[in-house]
Structure 1
C-alpha cells in the first residue's frame, strides 16, 4: 500500500546509503499520493491548519471538522504551516522553494518570501509576529521581517538539509534540526551559532522549545538506523537529559504542551505518542491514522491534539482519554503542516505533492463545524510550513518555490513575497 510505496520511494529515490559521499534528500515523490504533512492549532484552539502534498493549506473548524477554506498559491507540496499568535495570519513553506503569508479570515495571499534555493521544510513565527524563520534543503535557516518581506539574515552551519526550526518564546534564540543528525542553537540577533547538540545517530526531523526556553525536544530516525527516538536536552548546557523510546519507525515531529509537562510525537509507524517529560514514561499511544503521521499540535488549552498524515486527513484527539474526536477531510494530497489560530477557532493546513500537477494551497477551516472557509493560492510548488502571527491576522507559508508568503487571514489576500533562499524553504 502507500506505506510500502513510501519506503520504496525513499530507498530508491531519496536515501543514499551512508557510504556514499552525497547527502540524502529527505522527502518523497509518490505520484498521486496525497499526504497531510503538517498541522497546527490556532491560539484559541478553535481552528486547525493543515498543509498537504496537494499543494494547498486548509483551514478547519475543530469542533465540527468542517473545512472552512482552502489556501491556494503554492505550485508544489506544502511541507509546513504555522499560525501567528493572534491567529490572523498563517505561514506556509513549500517544495516550490517559497514561504507564503496568508490572511486567515479571507484566505488572501499577502506576501511571498523568496530566497531559498531549494525546498522550504520548516517555518515559524516569533511570538510577537514581527519575524519569521525558515529552514531549507539548501542547508540554511533564514530570518525574515514579516511586515516588509525583507530577508534579515541567513544562518549557516549545518552540513545538510534543515528539516525543523523553532523560536524560543522570547524570540532571542532559534533551534534547528538537520539531516546532519545535529541540533543547533542560534542567537537570533547576531546569527551566531551558540552550540551544537549531539546524540542522535540519525536524521533530526523535529525540534521544539519548552515555553520557558530551558528545555529542547528533538525527534529522529531513518530507514537504515534504529534511533527512532525523542531526546530531551538542557538548552543552557547542551546536555542530553533523557531519551524517549517506543516508536518503531522515524519520529517525524515533536512538540511540548504549553505547561511543559507533556511531550507529543508523530511517527512513520502511523501513531502519535504522549509522554511524561519528567520521567520519560510513555502515557499513551494514539492510533487511527492509516499511514505516517507528519504533523502534530496541542490545542492552546492542552486538552486536544491535532495530527496530519500521509493518509490525507487531519484528526482531532482528546488528550486525557486518547479518543479520536473527529477526522477532517478535504485535501486532495498529503497534508504537510497544520496550525491552530491563537484563539483556537480556526485551523490552517498546507498541502502539496512531489507531482507538479497539484494545487499547492493553504486551507482555512472552522474548528467547531469543520467547514472550509477559504483557500489561499499563490505558491508555485509544495507548501511545506505554515504559521500564524501572534494576533491571528496574518499567516506565513514556506514553499519549495524558494519563497515565503505573507497572507491576510480575513481576506485571503497575498500581502508580500519574501525572496532570498537559494533552495527549497
Structure 2
C-alpha cells in the first residue's frame, strides 16, 4: 500500500484527480461497469482516495452511488451480485465514516471486522487482497467483531460533548437538528453525515427542539427557561422569550404545524400557549396535578395532548383553551407522547416501561405495547401512521406495528439511554440521540 501511495503521489496532480475522481463517472457513462467494479474493490484505490486531501470518505461514498446513476441511464441491469458487493462495501464506509475521518489507516480493520462473516467468493477475495496489501503490521480481526452491514445502523454522528436530549428532522429529510446537555444545538447533513453548524445561545441544557414545516426555522427550549427561535438558513437567532410567567422550569416545547403558535409545558403543572408572531400568551391550560413531561399537537393545530407525572393524559381544545378528555391507564408517570399524522391516535410512553395507543375522539385505550426493560423515554410515529418507534433507558429502540401492536425490530447500538428519536417523512430512516453523546442514523427498512 505504501509503495502504491508513493507512486501515485509522484504523479502530476491532474493524473491523481483523474485516477481518483473523474474516471469513475466516465466508466459508468460508457457502460464500462467492469472497470468501475474493479476500481471500487481495489483496496489500494480505496485507501488512496480517502487519504487524498481533495477527496476523502464522502467522495468515496459518492462513487459507490454512481451505480444507481448507471441504472437510471436505461442500460441493461448490472450484475446483481456485484451490485450487492458494492453496496456492502459502501455500507462499511457509511458505518465507519466517523472512525475513518479520525484515522484513515483503519480501513483494513473496518472491512475485516464488518465483512469477515460473509462467505461469498467476491467478499473473500477482497478481504484476502486487503490482507496482502496491508504493508505494515496490523491487528486483523479473526471474527466479525464490529456491527455488520444490514444491522440497521447507517452512520454515527459525533460532535456533542454531553448527552443528546432531543432530535428533530426537516420535512425534506435532509437535515437533523440535535439539542444537548452541552447547551448547544447542532445541524447535520443527513446525506453526508457532516455537521453543518452549531447554534449557541442557551446557558443550560437544551431539552426540546422542533422544526417548522418549511424547514427554515427551529425553536428550542432550555433549562435556562428561555425559548429561542433560529433561522436555519442564516444560522442566526430570531428571538428569545424569557418564560418568567412560569414559576418553574419549562421542560417541553412544541409548535403548531404553521409555526405560529408554541405550547410550553412546565414543572409548575401548567401549559401555556403563545403566539409566536406577537410574543403574547394566548391560554393557560390547568388541570394536571403534577409536572407535565410531554406535549404533542395534532396536525391541524386544533388539539394539544399532554402527559404528566400524575399518570394521566389530557386532550385540550387549542381554539378555546378547554380540556376535552382525560385518559387514564398508565401505572406510572407518562413520559412521552406522539400523535399520528391523521390526528386520530396518540401514543404514550411511561415509566411503567409500556406504550399505549389511544383513540383521540373517544379516549379509548386501543393497545398496550410491552417489551422494553426500562422506562420509555421517547416515541415517534411514521408519517404513514403504520409504525411506532420507541426509545428507552434499556439502550435500545423498538419499531412496532401500530395496527397489531406487534414488535417488528429491536435496534441496538447505543451504549447508554436512548433519549430522542426523529423519523424522516418517507419513513425509511430514524435518527436517535443518546446519553452516550452521539446520534445514529438507522435504516428502518431493514
Q: Give the structure-2-normalised TM-score.
A: 0.65
Q: 2:203 aligns with which of 117, 127, 136?
A: 117
- Equivalenced residue count is 295
Aligned counterpart, 1:286: 369
Tell whether the 8 Å contact from 2:173 to 2:424 is kept in structure 1 after alignment. Answer: yes
| Residue of structure 1 equivalent to 2:215 | 129
The reply to whether residue 249 of structure 1 matches residue 332 of structure 2 is yes
> Does the CA-based 8 Å contact 1:81-1:93 persist in structure 2?
yes
Once residues 312 and 184 of structure 2 are traced to their aligned partners in structure 1, the CA distance between those partners, rounded to angstroms, is 30
- Deviation sequence 1:26-68 (CA, Å, 0-9, x none): xxxxxxxxxxxxxxxxxxxxxxxxxxxxxxxxxxxxxx66111
Work out the CA distance in 1 between the residues paired with 2:329 and 2:226.
Answer: 31
Q: Secondary structure at the match of 2:395?
A: coil
Where is the helix percentage greater, Structure 1 or Structure 2?
Answer: 2
Give, in angstroms, the shift of residue 160 of structure 1.
2.1
Cα displacement string for residues 124-169 of structure 1 (whole angstroms, at most 9, x for unaligned residues): 0001011101111112211111112211112223222221111111
Residue 342 of structure 2 aligns with which residue? 259
Q: Which residue of 2 aligns with 1:77?
A: 163
Q: Give me the whole-angstrom Cα distance separating, in 1, the residues matched to 2:342 and 2:181.
A: 33
- C-alpha contact (below 8 Å) 2:387/2:400 kept by paired residues: yes
1:202 CA drift (Å): 0.9
State the match for 2:90 in structure 1: none
Listed one character per residue, the Cα deviations across residues 315-352 of structure 1 (whole Å, up to 9, x for unaligned) are 00001110000001101111110011122221111112
In the TM superposition, what are the counterparts of 1:367-382 in structure 2 within 5 Å? 367-369=444-446
Richer in strand (by share):
1
Correspondence for 1:200 among 261, 269, 288: 288
Please say if 1:212 is aligned against 2:300: yes
Checking the alignment, whether the CA contact within 8 Å between 2:340 and 2:381 is kept in structure 1 is: yes
Instruction: State the structure with more CA Rg.
Output: 2
**Are residues 1:161 and 2:238 paired?**
no
User: Contact (CA 8 Å) 1:294, 1:310: kept in 2 or not?
Assistant: yes
Please say if 1:103 is aligned against 2:186: no
Equivalent in 384, 389, 395 of residue 312 of structure 1: 395
Deviation at 1:187, TM superposition (A): 1.0
Listed as ranges, the gaps of 5+ residues in structure 2 are 1-149
> Are 1:327 and 2:387 matched, yes or no?
no
Give 1:205 shift.
0.9
Distance in 1 (CA, whole Å) between partners of 2:226 and 2:294 is 16
Distance 1:196 1:145 in 2: 28
* TM-score, normalisation: structure 1: 0.68
Structure 2 partner of 1:414: none
Which gives a bigger RCO, structure 1 or 2 (Cα 8 Å, sep 6+)?
1
Q: Is the 8 A contact 1:73 1:362 kept in 2?
A: no
Q: CA deviation at 1:123?
A: 0.6
Paired residue for 1:25? none
- In structure 2, distance between residues paired with 1:181 and 1:102: 34
Match of 1:152 among 238, 259, 265: 238
What are the within-5 Å matches in structure 2 for residues 329-348 of structure 1?
Answer: 329-348=412-431
CA distance in 2, matches of 1:110, 1:86: 16
Q: What per-residue deviation string (whole Å, max 9, x for no partner) do you get for residues 195-229 of structure 1? A: 111111111111111111110001110xxxxx111
Equivalent position of 2:356 in the other structure:
273
The correspondence for 2:438, drawn from 358, 361, 381, is 361
Moved segments of 4+, more than 3 Å = none
